[in-house]
């Protein structure tokens, strides 16, 4: 089926006879959406003996057109369990088990969970979950197939620890386009600018106000284009008031009409006073609530629905009149206000957030963004956008193609069978034999690169990839993420236990986020936050990197890198407790590690016996690469003193 890169590969397929048979194998499928449903059906029909299915979601009407294991009567039920029920009807003898939960955070999905399976398949739709499963499979040495599709393109790529590139080896292109802040706040010229603005507005009214990415929607008076323009005295008393500050006061006696006038009248008047902006642009025209209700046209300039097609359109695909959008704005604001109040109440007694999170599949969320974006577009003389198109643009969606999903799923099952053929039969040793005959498979409509289905040789791991650069296991620390603070992690685990001085702590999720910077002073408030407040989760890997040079004393110089994996457990109830599960410290250590570095509270020297003394290497001037195993004896390091009350248990 594939455009194979060498004929010898085909002959290697005969090793199927000595490899594992599908009926003897267990596969974990993560994601039961578009590809997941196709995949489960194909795995079952190919007689795979045991399948685990993880999905966090429940079934929505919009899934039914392509996720054929689900029917209308299933809407609202968990995808994982309905998918398993449907598969059991096709293959009654199959052993298939659903897991309704988030692969990122659900404590059930720990290393021992992954170890039950011969093979893991990703059928996910987001980078974060894919990265997480990739890391878990590297940790557990499990073969992983990452399947995915975008429109007519797709892939089924193979990941084997230490033998191929992993998911993190290649930097992911930023999926979201970025727009200049001034364009969004002051001078939009395309529908997408208004949609981005409307999503920021949603966050300001109902979302996470502490999220630093939540850009203010108020006119930006620092716009460089408006330099040297005196503002305040030209605004006829319309002062610029930050929407974020304004809304908090306003929420008390909540009036959607006042919000309307602030956004679409007062702020626009202020914008028009920034004269330089409008020298070469059409000036925006403010609208007041009362007058806007009367505008029956689709747009101020007579613009609007340019689609001359005579095809009948479903309601959501139609452009509506301005007065319709005014009504849509008022109604959706009222709906969301009610929901936001309810959410705050729920948050008092649960771990739920206090704010709403925008979701393209939620009708009130979509109505709010459609109405706000179109009212703004009308003011700036920009074409209006239907609710249907807003959903696609705001959700950054490329439509899913059912046929591509079916092809990807078929190829993925073939890939799975080839992998099983490399696993020794009747043995618990999961070491792969030869993988020379395996390839990555891509489906591409770009004909320049070859056939539609292309088979590309596997590549070696990228040595600069954080996951693959060294193959030592990270130090695993078990904590309760909702109790353990950044400060406890830094002081107790990183400085006191791992004996680092002042390392950078980088979140190794591809985002480049730095949790703690060695160069900056510690922000006390931020240090007191718990790890889950930083959206760190079960399985997150932190890279602690220290490049400490003491000019006056070479013995204090150290260059260390330690990978720290966070494992969440609800069973730890004390905010200071943590458990080091096992691991290696990997470091490039100059001279002696048994030192007293400045600023490090070394009162608790209980690790000294385990620190390798490098005195024997004193004459070596070159950096020595050393691996130090932390203790493996349970409770050997159980310290419970007053000044260091965190209980440390060392387990294997």
Ligand X SMILES: Nc1ncnc2c1ncn2[C@@H]1O[C@H](COP(=O)(O)OP(=O)(O)OP(=O)(O)O)[C@@H](O)[C@H]1O
Which residues carry out catalysis? Answer: 182
Q: How many CA atoms lie within 13 A of 372 on its CB side?
A: 31
**Least separation, in Å, of the C-beta of 144 and Zn ion?**
12
Kindly write out the interface string for residues 417-436 of this chain, putting x where it contacts ligand X by CB under 6 A and - elsewhere: --------------------
Stretch that binds ligand X, among 121-129, 163-171, 515-523, 603-611 (CB under 6 A): 121-129
Q: How many CA atoms lie within 13 A of 85 on its CB side?
A: 9
Nearer to ligand X among residue 364 and residue 400 (C-beta): 400
56 is a contact residue toward ligand X (CB under 6 A)? yes
CA separation for the pair 3, 130 (Å, rounded): 27
Q: What is the largest CA-CA distance in the chain?
A: 87
400 binds, among ligand X, Zn ion, none (CB under 5 to 8 A by kind): ligand X
52 binds, among Zn ion, ligand X, none (CB under 5 to 8 A by kind): none
CA distances from 336 to 254, 261, 289 (A): 12, 18, 19
467 is a contact residue toward Zn ion (CB under 5 A)? yes
Angle at 513 between CA 510 and CA 519, to 5 degrees: 135
> How is the chain split among helix, strand and coil, in percent rounded to 5?
35, 15, 50
CA separation for the pair 318, 308 (Å, rounded): 12
**Least separation, in Å, of the C-beta of 225 and ligand X?**
38
The single residue listed with the structure tokens 């943590």 is 578
Residue 15 makes CB contacts below 8 A (sequence gap 6+) with: 421, 422, 433, 434, 437
Contact 271, 219 (CB under 8 A): yes
User: Quick one: tokens of 44?
Assistant: 């079952």
CA separation for the pair 384, 55 (Å, rounded): 37
**Least separation, in Å, of the C-beta of 551 and ligand X?**
47
Nearer to Zn ion among residue 466 and residue 566 (C-beta): 466
* Site size with ligand X, rule: CB under 6 A: 20
465 binds, among ligand X, Zn ion, none (CB under 5 to 8 A by kind): Zn ion
57 is a contact residue toward ligand X (CB under 6 A)? yes
DSSP string over 186-209: T---SHHHHHHHHHHHHHHHHS-T
Nearer to Zn ion among residue 169 and residue 271 (C-beta): 169
642 known member of a binding site: no
Return the residue of 20, 41, 79, 628 that touches ligand X, per CB under 6 A: 79
**Least separation, in Å, of the C-beta of 91 and ligand X?**
21
Chain centroid to Cα 133, Å, comes to: 12
Return the residue of 195, 382, 468, 648 that touches Zn ion, per CB under 5 A: 468
**Least separation, in Å, of the C-beta of 166 and Zn ion?**
3
169 binds, among Zn ion, ligand X, none (CB under 5 to 8 A by kind): Zn ion
194 known member of a binding site: no
468 binds, among ligand X, Zn ion, none (CB under 5 to 8 A by kind): Zn ion
CA separation for the pair 34, 79 (Å, rounded): 11
**Least separation, in Å, of the C-beta of 54 and ligand X?**
5
**Rg of the chain, C-alpha, whole Å:** 29
Positions 22 through 51 that interact with ligand X (CB under 6 A): 31-34, 36
Kindly write out the interface string for residues 146-175 of this chain, putting x where it contacts Zn ion by CB under 5 A and - elsewhere: --------------------x-xx------
Of residues 112, 154, 111, 119, the one with CA closest to residue 136: 111
Nearer to Zn ion among residue 133 and residue 494 (C-beta): 133
DSSP string over 146-192: EEEEETTEEEEEEE-TTTS--TTSSPPPP-S----HHHHHT---SHH
Of residues 94, 99, 32, the one with CA closest to residue 69: 32
Positions 406 through 465 that interact with Zn ion (CB under 5 A): 465
Stretch that binds ligand X, among 55-63, 287-295, 329-337, 368-376 (CB under 6 A): 55-63
66 known member of a binding site: yes
Nearer to ligand X among residue 96 and residue 400 (C-beta): 400
Nearer to Zn ion among residue 168 and residue 546 (C-beta): 168
Annotated binding site for ATP: 31-36, 55, 63-66, 79, 125-130
Binding site for ligand X (CB under 6 A): 31-34, 36, 54-57, 62-63, 79, 102-104, 124-126, 129, 400
Annotated binding site: 31-36, 55, 63-66, 79, 125-130, 166, 169, 465, 468
């Amino acid at each position: 089926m594939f455009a194979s890169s060498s004929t010898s590969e085909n002959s290697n397929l005969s090793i199927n006879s000595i490899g594992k048979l599908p009926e003897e194998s267990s596969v974990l499928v993560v994601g039961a959406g578009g590809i997941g449903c196709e995949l489960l059906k194909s795995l079952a029909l190919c007689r795979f003996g045991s399948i685990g299915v993880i999905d966090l979601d429940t079934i929505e009407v919009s899934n039914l057109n392509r996720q054929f294991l689900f029917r209308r009567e299933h809407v609202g039920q968990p995808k994982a369990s309905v998918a398993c029920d449907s598969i059991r009807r096709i293959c009654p003898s199959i052993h298939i088990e659903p897991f309704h939960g988030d692969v990122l955070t659900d404590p059930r999905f720990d290393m021992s969970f992954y170890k039950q399976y011969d093979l893991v398949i990703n059928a996910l739709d987001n980078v974060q979950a894919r990265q997480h499963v990739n890391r878990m499979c590297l940790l557990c040495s499990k073969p992983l197939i990452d399947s995915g599709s975008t429109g007519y393109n797709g892939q089924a790529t193979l990941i084997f620890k230490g033998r191929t590139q992993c998911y993190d080896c290649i930097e992911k292109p930023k999926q979201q386009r970025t727009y200049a802040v001034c364009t969004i706040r002051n001078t939009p010229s395309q529908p997408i600018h208004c949609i981005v603005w409307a999503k920021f507005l949603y966050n300001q009214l109902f979302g996470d106000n502490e999220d630093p990415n939540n850009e203010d929607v108020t006119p930006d008076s620092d716009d460089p284009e408006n330099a040297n323009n005196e503002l305040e005295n030209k605004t006829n008393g319309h002062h610029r008031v930050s929407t974020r500050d304004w809304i908090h006061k306003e929420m008390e006696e909540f009036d959607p009409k006042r919000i309307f006038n602030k956004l679409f009248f007062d702020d626009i008047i202020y914008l028009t006073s920034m004269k330089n902006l409008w020298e070469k642009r059409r000036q925006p025209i403010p609208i007041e609530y009362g007058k806007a209700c009367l505008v029956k046209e689709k747009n101020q300039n007579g613009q609007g629905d340019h689609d001359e097609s005579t095809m009948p359109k479903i309601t959501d695909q139609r452009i509506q009149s301005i007065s319709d959008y005014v009504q849509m704005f008022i109604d959706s604001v009222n709906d969301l206000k009610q929901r936001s109040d309810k959410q705050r109440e729920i948050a008092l007694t649960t771990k739920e957030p206090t704010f709403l999170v925008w979701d393209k599949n939620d009708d009130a969320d979509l109505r709010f963004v459609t109405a706000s974006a179109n009212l703004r577009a009308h003011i700036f003389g920009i074409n209006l956008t239907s609710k249907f198109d807003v959903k696609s643009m705001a959700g950054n969606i490329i439509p899913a193609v059912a046929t591509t999903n079916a092809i990807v799923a078929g190829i993925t099952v073939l890939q799975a069978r080839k992998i099983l053929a490399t696993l020794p039969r009747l043995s618990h040793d999961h070491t792969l034999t030869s993988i020379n005959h395996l390839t990555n498979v891509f489906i591409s409509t770009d004909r320049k690169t070859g056939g539609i289905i292309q088979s590309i040789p596997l590549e070696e791991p990228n040595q600069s990839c954080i996951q693959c650069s060294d193959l030592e296991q990270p130090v695993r620390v078990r904590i309760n993420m909702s109790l353990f603070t950044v400060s406890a992690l830094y002081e107790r685990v990183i400085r006191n236990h791992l004996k680092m001085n002042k390392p950078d702590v980088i979140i190794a999720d591809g985002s480049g986020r730095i949790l703690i910077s060695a160069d900056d002073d510690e922000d006390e408030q931020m240090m007191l936050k718990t790890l889950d407040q930083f959206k760190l989760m079960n399985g997150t890997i932190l890279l602690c990197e220290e490049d400490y040079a003491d000019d006056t004393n070479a013995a204090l110089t150290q260059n260390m890198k330690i990978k720290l994996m966070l494992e969440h457990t609800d069973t730890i109830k004390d905010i200071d407790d943590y458990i080091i599960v096992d691991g290696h410290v990997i470091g490039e250590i100059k001279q002696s590690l048994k030192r007293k570095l400045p600023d490090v509270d070394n009162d608790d020297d209980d690790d000294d016996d385990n620190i390798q003394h490098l005195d024997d290497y004193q004459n070596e001037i070159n950096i020595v690469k050393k691996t130090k195993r932390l203790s493996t004896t349970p409770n050997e390091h159980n310290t419970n003193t007053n000044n260091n009350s965190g209980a440390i248990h060392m387990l294997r």
